[in-house]
Structure 1
Amino acid sequence: MTTTAGSLPIDRSDHLVAVGADELLALCADTERQAREAELRRLECALRWAHLHPDDPDRAALGSVESAAVVDAALAPRAHRCGTVLIDRAIAEATAGAEPEEQGAEEALSRSHWGVELLHGPMTGPGRWAGTSRMEITGDTVVLQGFLDVLTALAEGEVARTHPDDTIDVRRSLAVGLVAQRTSCDRPPRIKLHLHADLAGLLDDTIGTGSVERLGPITTARIKEWCGSSSVTVLPVLREDRTDAVDQHDPPPWMRELVTQRDGHCVFPWCATDARSCDLDHIEEYVPMDEGGPPGQTRPDALAPLCRHHHRAKTARRWRYRRLPDDSYLWTGPHGRRYRVDRDGTDPLS
């Protein structure tokens, strides 16, 4: 049985005690105080260790007596009022002042982590991709601060005139597009996305949807927006019933595209690696024609996408598989277990 007292539920079956808002605030404050006291105790232990072991090769937590003395002087008058951030900052400043070579090494190590990464996925928790991605940039502090200042100036000026109702953060994001466009001398950017949509639907003003490979569905309105500001290559629809064969090991581009779209992902059991990141494997081992191989070995129904790891497992003959008439794949593992794989997933058979 559950009843309420104040603002929180009480579960009588678990013998919980009601706690009001004031008690919760007091509890949070007490927890914060205990955490601060624990951090101060950690600092005290570090200072004692540095004083007692000035030549320790591990440098303890502060590195030297000189560093410990600087931290002592900086924190002693206000240690009881400091949080963990100020304590860590004092330790960093003390270490850098007493041992500048270590600061230089730390800066070099930090530089090795610089990079730019583009991440696709839901922005509002679990769900589906909705045409929004996130870019993470790690680099020089002054350079990134300068870049943010440029974006802010554009967001508060030019972008604000065309998007007055958007927040400053949204306008900064839109400003990134302006910077990219001007860097490319106003030429439309070449963006490689594989969009699937009915061209007739793009001419319709009603709401429709297409899809982006690897990401998910997208409205035709967003597709039209992208097509209007980017360089676009339109590819014809492939006939999935084509069975043309070529007498060479590597498939031509049309055949690779057909197999990629047909299977969608690595066809090894439970593997979801996108087909565009996979090798195209000859299900039956390819034998060059000048070594006695038959003609027509490279054709759509004789190929399947395998990620590099599983391609090696198959090539090493630990696993074997064949394509079934219903376009699924039957795999046999090294211990005789069998699995059926199609676009929707994997079914263990034995």
Structure 2
Amino acid sequence: MIDTRSGLGASEVTDDLSASDLLALARRRKADEDRAAAEILQLAARWADLHPPESIHHAAAFSVPGFDHEEPIAGEGCPLVTEFCIPELGTVLGISTTAAKKLIGHALELRHRLPRLWDQVHAGRVPAWRARLVAEATIHAVPTLTVEAAGWIDSQVAAVAGKVSTAQLDRLVAEAIKRYDLSVEPRPDFAAGEDHEDFEADQYLNHDRRHVTFDTRHVHYDGLMRMEAELDLADAYDLDAAIAHGAAALKALGSTAALGARRAAALGDLARTQTALDLHTQGTPAPAPAGDNLPAAREVVLHVHLDADAVGGETVFGPTGRLENGQRLALLDQVKGWCASSRTKVTIRPVLDLNAELTTDTHAIPDRIREQVMLRDRTCVFPWCTRPARACDIDHITPYDHDAAAEGRPQPGPTATSNLAPLCRSHHRLKTHTAWRYVHLGPGVFEWTSPHGHHFLHDHDGTTALDPPCRP
């Protein structure tokens, strides 16, 4: 049944459906979902076809974790795509620019380097999300996969990708990469009977896989963050020994925490170059020894807003606050713990009014205005972007005219709170070099218009699509 007024299908889930009917309907809807996801991949690939870059310097790329360089969004043999086309596809799909970049990269990887898997997706035998797992692995394999290598892996996994569990699929792809012997460069000609195992080992060592990565996207509500690292073997043993020693010292000083918690605390102490002697005072920070001029190991900056209550001449804070780094909930007890650690510098910065209009006559943005804008908007204000404001540029929404004063004209783009907003470098360049435009509707509220006329509202609650789009 179709509602012709809205164009939406009426729900088939009714109270009179039997158990068999419900299962049959669930199966049909899952098939519909898989077909839609496969079509999204086709649309993403076609969108890339429509937007080739003018040069390699304008091509979209991704950052490599643990390295300073960037790589194309898909493997060797895939066409390049201009970076500025990606955000618009992402916004209409309701995903971030980074997620849209991955979507297009996966679509190109599947279509050009994993064609068997691509066909299986569109035949309904492999869900799109499973195929994207394989594409993610082949795009980011170290060392980089050749076209031939990717094709060989495609032949190994395409037929079974829809039949095995996710964990089995991950193992199958990893084993296929290993079996292809991708860790070595092309071998020289060896004499008959000559052992080339040492050559393979030397080639493998040419690829430095060391890294330390913090998963800032998934911070637990109780303030925990996951860290992953691959270290030099000797460094790993040294770090393990230092952590074990620190955990033992904490226990000897009276800590009753579990071993895992003590090891984590010991790693934090290593990061701050301090010891666990605070336990001697049973939780009260120990005074620094006389003549101790060591710098602070940690700084806690408290931004005090007007929602703090003044009672009896003292400022009383609520039980929760907001952690600016990561936009996470912070409990008052957690903040007290951070401040109580030895060698901690506590800075209190009063913020009287984030809605006040601050201005200056210069193009350069004073620190007080920059700080106000970052605290007001919290993140990049582009639709669906969550990059922290402190990692962003401060953009003049209406460009500043450097010649206005000399020519006796009013300044169209003043350096004022209402004309400033944080934009990450990628979206700052997008706004500067493309037809994307936005306006400031109120404190922390922005309306964006894409080159094809789609409108989006961004505020502290997130992003809202304002459809239907107007004429481009």
Is the structural similarity TM-score above 0.5?
yes
Residue aligning to 1:26:
none
1:281–1:305 contact (8 Å) kept in structure 2 = yes
Residue aligning to 1:309:
426
Summarize the alignment of residues 204-219 of structure 1 with structure 2, pairs less than 5 Å apart: 208-213=319-324, 214-219=326-331
Among residues 165, 176, 184, which one is paired with 2:256 in the alignment? 165
Which shows bigger deviation, 264-273 or 247-256? 264-273
Pairwise CA RMSD: 4.1
Residue aligning to 1:107:
205
Aligned counterparts of 1:141 and 1:312: Cα–Cα separation in 2: 42
Residue aligning to 1:188:
296
Distance apart, 1:261 and its partner CA: 1.6
Letter in 2 for 1:301: S
Residue aligning to 1:227:
339
1:287–1:294 contact (8 Å) kept in structure 2 = no
Distance apart, 1:303 and its partner CA: 0.9
2:400–2:414 contact (8 Å) kept in structure 1 = yes
Distance apart, 1:12 and its partner CA: 9.5
Residue aligning to 1:346:
464
SS at 2:247 equivalent = helix
Would the alpha carbon gap of residues 66 and 196 (structure 1) be closer, same or farther in structure 2, given more than 3 Å must change?
A: farther
Q: Does 1:179 align with 2:270?
A: yes
Would the alpha carbon gap of residues 101 and 220 (structure 1) be closer, same or farther in structure 2, given more than 3 Å must change?
A: same
SS at 2:363 equivalent = coil
Summarize the alignment of residues 72-151 of structure 1 with structure 2, pairs less than 5 Å apart: 98-110=196-208, 113-120=209-216, 122=218, 128-151=220-243
Residue aligning to 1:154:
246
Aligned residue pairs total 267
**Alignment deviations for residues 13-48 of structure 1 (CA, whole Å, 9 cap, x no partner):** 98xxxxxxxxxxxxxxxx9xxx9xxx9xx99xx8xx
Distance apart, 1:287 and its partner CA: 0.4
Letter in 1 for 2:410: P
Aligned counterparts of 1:175 and 1:200: Cα–Cα separation in 2: 38
SS at 2:214 equivalent = strand
User: Greater helix percent: which structure?
Assistant: 1
Letter in 2 for 1:211: R
Aligned counterparts of 1:179 and 1:263: Cα–Cα separation in 2: 34
Q: Which has the larger radius of gyration?
A: 1
Would the alpha carbon gap of residues 328 and 150 (structure 1) be closer, same or farther in structure 2, given more than 3 Å must change?
A: closer
Aligned counterparts of 1:326 and 1:143: Cα–Cα separation in 2: 49
Which shows bigger deviation, 271-280 or 225-234? 271-280
Letter in 2 for 1:222: Q
TM normalised by structure 2 equals 0.48
TM normalised by structure 1 equals 0.63
Distance apart, 1:300 and its partner CA: 0.1
Among residues 232, 253, 267, which one is paired with 2:367 in the alignment? 253
Aligned counterparts of 2:302 and 2:330: Cα–Cα separation in 1: 12
Aligned counterparts of 1:151 and 1:243: Cα–Cα separation in 2: 50
Taking CA–CA contacts closer than 8 Å with sequence separation of 6 or more, which of the two structures ends up with the larger relative contact order?
2
Which shows bigger deviation, 178-187 or 131-140? 178-187
Aligned counterparts of 2:445 and 2:317: Cα–Cα separation in 1: 37
Aligned counterparts of 1:286 and 1:347: Cα–Cα separation in 2: 29
2:304–2:349 contact (8 Å) kept in structure 1 = no
Aligned counterparts of 1:120 and 1:195: Cα–Cα separation in 2: 22
Which shows bigger deviation, 218-227 or 189-198? 189-198
Residue aligning to 2:54:
none
SS at 1:155 equivalent = helix
The runs of 5 or more residues in structure 1 that have no matched partner are 1-10, 15-30, 51-56, 68-96
The runs of 5 or more residues in structure 2 that have no matched partner are 1-18, 24-163, 276-291
SS at 2:298 equivalent = coil
Distance apart, 1:299 and its partner CA: 0.6
Residue aligning to 1:92:
none
Distance apart, 1:194 and its partner CA: 6.4
Among residues 309, 330, 334, which one is paired with 2:447 in the alignment? 330
Would the alpha carbon gap of residues 121 and 129 (structure 1) be closer, same or farther in structure 2, given more than 3 Å must change?
A: farther
Would the alpha carbon gap of residues 119 and 338 (structure 1) be closer, same or farther in structure 2, given more than 3 Å must change?
A: closer
Distance apart, 1:192 and its partner CA: 6.5
Aligned counterparts of 1:194 and 1:66: Cα–Cα separation in 2: 70
Distance apart, 1:297 and its partner CA: 0.9
